[in-house]
Amino acid sequence: MSQSIDLNDAKLSWQGAISLHRTDEWVMPWRVPFESKRLFPPDALLERAAMPAGVRLSFMANTSSLTIDLDVQSEDPQKLDVYADGQLYESLNVAGSRTLQINGLPTGEKLLEVWLPQHGEVRVKSLAIDDGASLSAYDDGRPKWITYGSSITHCRAAESPSTTWPAIAARILDLNLTCLGYGGNCHLEPMLARMIRDLPADYLSMKVGINVQGHNSLNARTFRPAIIGFVQILREKHPDTPLAVISPIFSPPLETKQNAVGFNLIEMRQEVAQAVDDLKSCGDSNVHYVDGLKLFGAHLGHMLPDDLHPNAEGYKLMGQNFVNEVAKPVFKL
């Protein structure tokens, strides 16, 4: 026997979500404010924002089983990860409409975290635990980390949602993650800066440049001012929060080949570094430049199957490299 949990129950925490679209049939997490999503064009950005990368459904319970009914719409096979007290308990394949049954959970009250697939739209239709089992809210007191970026932060090719590089870094560092990686859609839009500005955060990072280069969306006249403007919007409510500004990782064909507006990755790294220097020179003492090659350099090029995106093992290395190259020296963790 099992008891259904109302998906609107305040004891359920949708960590990493910016907003929730609720209907009588399901709940769908979003990574922009759903009610004002028209202010976040284009449609390509909204398509990625509808994908719950880094989103976890978290709660405390003494149940021995968990039943989740959900609908996952994705072009690729996806996984859902279930953690009990911080340990991976099961990683399950999901596609389309499916009811997942997790049995034999550890005894006693425990923190349960359901990491939703990082790619594709996900609608949670129902949740059930053992009949008579307790349910209580998870009071997460960990520091909050928000990271913004492209598909390389979205991590479509990761093995599972808890093995994206931001998820790996957050679990190593014991941080409460909000992942704002939008595949193909990291273009320094001011609405996203305003959204991040208004969120609670103890640490901030932004990995910028690769989508700008690939889509020719900013040039040598506009790229550096866009970075500075984005950071200054964040600083309106996060004046002293440690902020890492990370330039593009290694991509063999784009290092020296200029795009349609005359930018290659070597030049873009120089622009990102200069933007941070400009901010520092005007009094921002807690903004820090990080060379993306320190997270994923030329020596890891064999882990780029398309010469752009790391494979699953590459993302794991990026997570550890972020800990060593960003969290320790910049965040002082």
- Exposure of 212 by Cβ count < 10 A (0-12 exposed, 13-18 middle, 19+ buried)? buried
Angle subtended at Cα 165 by Cα 305 and Cα 152, rounded to the nearest 5 degrees: 50
Distance, CA of 28 to CA of 80 (rounded, Å): 15
Judge if 2-136 and 144-327 fold alike in CATH terms: no
pTM above 0.95, yes or no: yes
User: How confident is the model over 292-320, as pLDDT tens digits?
Assistant: 999 999 999 999 999 999 999 999 999 99
Which of the four pLDDT bands, split at 50, 70 and 90, describes residue 234?
very high
- Exposure of 223 by Cβ count < 10 A (0-12 exposed, 13-18 middle, 19+ buried)? buried
The CATH classification number of 2-136 equals 2.60.120.260
Report yes or no: 273 and 263 within 8 Å, Cβ to Cβ. Answer: no
List the chain domain ranges.
Answer: 2-136, 144-327
How many Cβ atoms are within 10 Å of 139's Cβ, its own excluded?
A: 7
* Sign of torsion over alpha carbons 161, 39, 145, 265: positive
User: How confident is the model over 38-80, as pLDDT tens digits?
Assistant: 999 999 999 999 999 999 999 999 999 999 999 999 888 899 9
User: How confident is the model over 249-297, as pLDDT tens digits?
Assistant: 999 999 999 999 999 999 999 999 999 999 999 999 999 999 999 999 9
The pLDDT value given to residue 95 = 84
Distance, CA of 32 to CA of 180 (rounded, Å): 9
Distance, CA of 144 to CA of 174 (rounded, Å): 10
The pLDDT value given to residue 136 = 97
The pLDDT value given to residue 247 = 98
Bridge partners of residue 186, in order along the sequence: none
Say whether pLDDT at 135 is over 80. Answer: yes
The CATH classification number of 144-327 equals 3.40.50.1110
The pLDDT value given to residue 96 = 87
